A and B are shown apart, each in its own frame.
Chain A
Amino acid sequence: MNIMETLGKLASESGFAGFLAAGGWKNLIMIALACVLLYLGIVKKFEPLLLVGIAFGCLLTNLPGAGMYHLDMWDAYVAGTSYTTAAGEVIEHLSFTDIIHEGGLLDIFYIGVKAGVYPSLIFMGVGAMTDFGPLLAYPKSLLLGAAAQLGVFVAFFGAILLGFTGPEAASIGIIGGADGPTAIFLTTKLAPQLLGPIAIAAYSYMALIPMIQPPIMKLMTTPAMRQVKMEQRREVSKTEKIVFPIVVSAFVILLLPSTAPLIGCLMLGNLFRECGVTDRLSDTAQNALMNIVTIFLATSVGATMVAERFLSLNTIKIVVLGLVAFAISTAGGLLGGRVMYRLSGGKINPLIGSAGVSAVPMAARVSQDVGRKYNKTNYLLMHAMGPNVAGVIGSAIAAGFLLSVFGG
């Protein structure tokens, strides 16, 4: 055995050699980016439950030779073209079974994203954690949830102007819904090639809500408006809370059938919570199941951040458009709040409008904090929870509309 030849072969086949190959430097940049994201998640605590997994998935997928995620395989799956395996076998139309046989571990995880399973299961957990009582006590807050979807459609239009295709623009616009699972669900259906940057933008801006929203809230409201104390709402009966998820599921899915996976799971989770006889299932949906799915979702989304796809001008455009979408959605909710302030004769504090951007419960907390800054005795949290949970339904309807228009 020629020792030098063997060592040379080992060196040329190692992942380190991959960094020296054409485009290998891009992998190094992505690994550095993964480390930055890990720093933001672990040290700065920016959405750590998701960002740590996303960053680690990004790290794994960009290690040359690891073969955990195959971009070319998924491109062939999405385009419906043939795929040549490592053994030279040509597969005409890839199925999930072929991907399990031929793919790496992260390819297998990603099947759950591609099939829309993980975002829907996350929605089930969100439903199990959400109290729709404030919304039922003041149903008009649904209007604020609608108003705060403005950024989705403005960013969609902006993306069209910047040269993105219709399905890509729809996926970018939904960042304005401030709802991670919805953004991932829609993007995997319409523009899977943009999943990495869109997920990163969506979750980063959600983590930055306490910094993004207050200046806009200050700009769009007067000090007198910010000090409005809202009346206590009526108590909501247990029966109402049980009937609500059933009615909403039937109504919204009949209105927009494409929302069925998201709304169906959201409301099933909520029914588990409210019906009083499925406490174990509610507990599983909000804790164990949610945690397990979060691991799969985060790592597989991170795996899509492949250097050759992520390092492009489009990523920068998406990051900018995402911020625009967030800011305009906040402004839309505040505008809705101002209209309700006028129509109610000054009884509604417009600050609760900004909570309509979904991002439960972070956005509602921001309304509470800004309100208390101007009136120490003001407690807006429960009032803001109405628009906040309405935003979840609103962003699902927006995604359903875009899927109906651009889906095949």
Chain B
Amino acid sequence: MNGINEALLHPGVGTGAVIAVLGYAVVFLGLVMLLAVVAVMGKVMASRRKAAPAAAPAAPEAPAPAPVEKPKAKGTAGELKLYNVSERDAALVMAIVAHKLGKPVNELRFRSIKEVEEK
């Protein structure tokens, strides 16, 4: 037959069992090795990210200019701290609160939003 291993055309029950176990093991082994590769890749990327800001201040010898603070958007009332909440969820929460209070968001001040774990 075209493209078929004739020797394994009719494997017995024992051979079939061995192939099944071996196949599952190969899939696991392949993905465990891939896991190691991806984990190493993640570590390398993380270390590069950490090294980049650390290396940056060492370069200029001249006194660094005073940091220029970016002007805040109109109506902004300081920084909002998020704890275990995505920006999207935070925006939703703020919009809902503003709607319930009947006030525009820029007249409210949110200091922080934290997800409360249910016990």
Number of interface residues, chain B, beta carbon within 8 A: 39
Contact A394:B2 (CB < 8 A) given known A146-B32, A251-B37? no
Which residues of chain A (143-172) have a CB below 8 Å from chain B?
143, 145-147, 149-150, 152-154, 156-157, 160-161, 165-167, 169
CB distance A256 to B37 under 8 Å? no
- Pick from B2, B11, B27, B41: contact of A247, CB under 8 Å: B41
Chain B neighbourhood of A408, CB < 8 A: 1-6
Contact A251:B34 (CB < 8 A) given known A156-B23, A237-B49? yes
A305 to B: closest C-beta gap in Å: 21
CB distance B30 to A256 under 8 Å? yes
Chain B neighbourhood of A153, CB < 8 A: 20-21, 23-24
CB distance B31 to A377 under 8 Å? no
Chain A facing B: main interface SS = helix
CB distance B8 to A252 under 8 Å? no
Which residues of chain A (202-258) have a CB below 8 Å from chain B?
229, 231-232, 237, 239-240, 243-244, 247-248, 251-252, 255-256
Chain B facing A: main interface SS = helix
Chain B neighbourhood of A377, CB < 8 A: 118
- Pick from B38, B84, B117: contact of A142, CB under 8 Å: B38
| B-contact bits for A368-408, CB 8 A (1 contact / 0 none) | 00000001010000000000001001100110011001111
CB distance B13 to A161 under 8 Å? yes
Asked if A365 lies at the interface with its beta carbon under 8 angstroms from chain B, I say no
B88 to A: closest C-beta gap in Å: 11
| A-contact bits for B52-68, CB 8 A (1 contact / 0 none) | 00000000000000000
In the complex, what distance in Å separates the CA atom of A165 from the CA atom of B45?
Answer: 47
- Pick from A157, A161, A189, A244: contact of B38, CB under 8 Å: A244
Chain B neighbourhood of A397, CB < 8 A: 26-27, 30-31
Asked if B110 lies at the interface with its beta carbon under 8 angstroms from chain A, I say no
CB distance A406 to B4 under 8 Å? yes
Asked if B10 lies at the interface with its beta carbon under 8 angstroms from chain A, I say yes
B100 to A: closest C-beta gap in Å: 19
Which residues of chain A (128-146) have a CB below 8 Å from chain B?
135-136, 139-140, 142-143, 145-146
CB distance A154 to B2 under 8 Å? no
Chain B neighbourhood of A405, CB < 8 A: 5, 8, 19, 23
CB distance A398 to B1 under 8 Å? no
Asked if A310 lies at the interface with its beta carbon under 8 angstroms from chain B, I say no
CB distance A146 to B33 under 8 Å? no
B55 to A: closest C-beta gap in Å: 17
In the complex, what distance in Å separates the CA atom of A239 from the CA atom of B35?
Answer: 18
In the complex, what distance in Å separates the CA atom of A165 from the CA atom of B6?
Answer: 10
Which B residues lie at the A interface, using CB under 8 A?
1-6, 8-11, 13, 16-17, 19-24, 26-28, 30-35, 37-39, 41-42, 45, 49, 84, 86, 117-118
Counting from the closest, the 9 A-B pairs by CB-CB distance are A160-B16, A153-B20, A146-B31, A139-B38, A157-B20, A408-B3, A142-B31, A142-B35, A166-B8
19 more CB-based (< 8 A) A-B contacts, given A154-B20, A190-B4:
A79-B2, A142-B38, A143-B32, A146-B30, A152-B24, A153-B24, A157-B16, A157-B20, A160-B11, A166-B16, A231-B84, A237-B45, A239-B45, A243-B41, A248-B34, A375-B118, A390-B31, A398-B27, A408-B6
